[in-house]
Structure 1
Amino acid sequence: MIKVSVMYPNGPKTKFDSEYYKNSHLPMIAETLGDSLKGIEFNIGIGGRVPGELAPYVAIAHLTFDSIESFQSSFGPHAEKFAADVPNYTNVEGELQISEIVS
């Protein structure tokens, strides 16, 4: 199994509509990817290392797939559609990381 994490950097000028992301963007992704998407998790940053510090990421989405090939073959053909929706919920570019789930 692999996890694809999309992390949205936080900052004083960062805008992120978590309601839109949760209720529109993620459901669109889940519906489009179908059975190749094994799981989805959405986290909202609430703090950093020091009390009162901004969280490094305003939000993080974790999507799980059986393999990198499964992710690429299901996500790739729709990447432009997903990217076109980004301005509807944020003004920052998400960072993407693919990780192997080891436990």
Structure 2
Amino acid sequence: MIKVSVMYPNGPKTKFDSEYYKNSHLPMIAEALGEDLKAMEFNIGIGGRTPGALAPYIAIAHLTFESVASFQSSFGPHAEKFAADVPNYTNVEGELQISEIVS
């Protein structure tokens, strides 16, 4: 199994509409990916390493797939549609990481 994490960097000028992301963007992704998407989790950053510090990421989405191939084949055809929706919820570019789930 693999996890695809999309992490949105935080900063003083970062804007992120978590309601839009949760209620519109993520459901659009789930519908498009269908059965290839095994699980999805959405986290909102609330703090950093020290008290009062900003969270390094304002939001993180985790998507679980059986394999890199299943992620690529299901996500690829919709990548442009997903990217076109980004300005509707944030003014920052998300960082994407693919990880192997080891436990």
TM-score range, shorter chain: over 0.9
Unaligned runs of 5+ in 2: none
Match of 1:67 in 2: 67
CA–CA distance in structure 1, aligned partners of residues 23 and 78 of structure 2: 19
Structure 1 residue runs without a partner (length 5+): none
Provide the residue aligned with 1:46 in structure 2: 46
Alignment-derived partner of residue 55 in structure 1:
55
Give the TM-score of the pair, scaled to structure 1. Answer: 1.00
The aligned residue for residue 78 of structure 1 is 78
**Other-structure match for 1:32:** 32
Q: Which amino acid aligns with 2:91?
A: N
| Structure-2 separation of matches of 1:3 and 1:16 | 22
**Structure 2 counterpart of 1:70, one-letter code:** S
Structure 1 consecutive aligned stretches of length 4 or more whose deviation exceeds 2 Å: none
For the residues of structure 1 that align with 2:57 and 2:28, how far apart are their CA atoms?
A: 22
Distance 1:45 1:30 in 2: 22
Per-residue displacement from partner, 1:28-54 (whole Å, max 9, x unpaired)?
000000000000000000000000000
How many corresponding residue pairs? 103
Distance (Å, rounded) in 2 between the aligned partners of 1:82 and 1:66:
21
Structure 1 counterpart of 2:65, one-letter code: F
